C-alpha cells in the first residue's frame, strides 16, 4: 500500500503485536490495513457509525486483500467485551471519545490499552480516561501537514496526576522537545486571545485562563 500519513504512522507505532483491536471511527481503514501489514498477529475490527465511511473501508480492505472485520455502529456498541483488548480512536472530538468509553464501561473489562488521537480538549480526555483506571504510558507529538497532533497511549492501572500533567501531558512534560515547546506557545496564544474577549466581570473564568497561561509560560 502507499505510505500512510505521518499522523497515522505515529498512531501505528504505539500498537503492539498480538492484540485484539477495535478501531472506532475507522473511516477509510488505512490505519488498520497498515497495521495488518506491518505488525504481527493482530485481530482488527474496523468500525464506523457512517455507512459511506464504512463503504470506503470495505473498498480499501478488498483492494489490499487483508483480513479485517468491519462493523457499522456507534462506538463500542458493535463489539462484545471478549472480542477486544485494545481500543484505537483517532480524528474524533474529545467529548465523543469520552462518551464512547463511558457509555459502555462494561466492555472495557479486558481492555488493557487505549490509544487516542483527538484534536481538541486533551486535558478532558486525560482526566476522564484516568478516572476509568488507566494511566498514561506514552504520548507522541507529530507534525503532519503543518498541524501538531498529540497521540496518547493509556494502559490499565492507577496513577495520580496533577493539573499541570493533565493539561500538558505527563510524558510530554518529561520528554519536552521543540515540538512540545511550539505546541505550548500556540496554546498559550489561543488562550490569550480568548482572555481578551472575556468580560472583566467574569472574574473566576478570567482567573482560570490566566492560570493556564502561566502553566504554558513555565515551559
Ligand atoms: C475524521 S474521521 C477519522 C478517520 C480515521 N480514524 C483517521 O484518524 O484518519 C472520523 C470518523 O469517525 C466516525 N465516527 C464519529 N463518531 C463515531 C462514533 N460514535 N462511533 C463510530 N464512529 C464514529 C465518523 O463517521 C468518521 O468516519
Q: How far is the CA of 215 from the centre of ligand 1 (A)?
A: 32
Could you tell me which of 94, 93, 33 has the C-alpha nearest to residue 67? 33
Q: How far is the CA of 48 from the centre of ligand 1 (A)?
A: 6
> At 42, which helix (H) or strand (E)?
none
Domain positions in the chain are 6-163, 176-219
Count Cβ atoms below 10 Å from residue 84 Cβ, excluding itself.
22
pTM of the model: 0.96
Residues with CB under 6 A from ligand 1: 24-27, 47-50, 53, 74-75, 90-92, 96, 100
Write out pLDDT tens, residues 191-218: 999 999 999 999 999 999 999 999 999 8
The answer to whether 94 and 126 have CB atoms below 8 angstroms apart is no
Q: Is 59 helix (H, G, I), strand (E, B) or coil?
A: helix
Q: How far is the CA of 79 from the centre of ligand 1 (A)?
A: 16
Going by alpha carbons, the residue nearest to atom 14 of ligand 1 is 25
CATH number of 6-163: 3.40.50.150
Write out pLDDT tens, residues 104-136: 999 999 999 999 999 889 999 999 999 999 999
The answer to whether 80 and 50 have CB atoms below 8 angstroms apart is no
Instruction: Say how far apart CA 160 and CA 180 lie, in whole Å.
Output: 22
Amino acid at each position: 500500500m502507499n505510505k500512510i500519513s505521518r499522523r497515522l504512522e505515529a498512531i501505528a507505532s504505539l500498537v503492539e503485536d498480538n492484540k485484539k483491536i477495535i478501531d472506532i471511527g475507522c473511516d477509510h481503514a488505512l490505519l488498520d490495513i497498515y497495521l495488518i501489514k506491518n505488525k504481527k498477529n493482530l485481530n482488527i475490527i474496523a468500525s464506523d457509525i457512517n455507512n459511506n465511511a464504512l463503504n470506503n473501508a470495505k473498498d480499501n480492505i478488498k483492494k489490499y486483500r487483508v483480513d479485517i472485520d468491519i462493523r457499522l455502529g456507534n462506538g463500542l456498541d458493535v463489539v462484545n467485551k471478549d472480542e477486544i483488548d485494545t481500543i484505537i480512536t483517532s480524528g474524533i472530538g474529545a467529548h465523543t471519545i469520552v462518551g464512547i468509553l463511558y457509555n459502555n464501561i462494561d466492555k472495557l473489562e479486558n481492555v488493557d490499552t487505549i490509544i487516542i488521537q483527538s484534536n481538541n480538549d486533551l486535558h478532558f480526555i486525560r482526566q476522564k480516561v484516568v478516572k476509568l483506571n488507566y494511566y498514561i504510558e506514552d504520548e507522541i507529538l507529530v507534525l503532519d501537514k503543518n498541524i501538531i497532533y498529540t497521540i496518547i497511549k493509556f494502559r490499565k492501572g492507577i496513577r495520580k496526576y496533577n493539573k499541570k500533567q493533565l493539561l500538558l501531558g505527563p510524558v510530554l512534560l518529561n520528554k519536552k522537545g521543540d515540538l512540545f515547546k511550539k505546541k505550548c506557545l500556540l496554546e498559550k496564544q489561543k488562550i490569550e486571545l480568548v482572555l481578551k474577549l472575556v468580560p472583566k466581570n467574569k472574574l473566576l473564568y478570567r482567573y482560570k485562563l490566566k492560570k493556564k497561561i502561566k502553566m504554558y509560560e513555565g515551559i
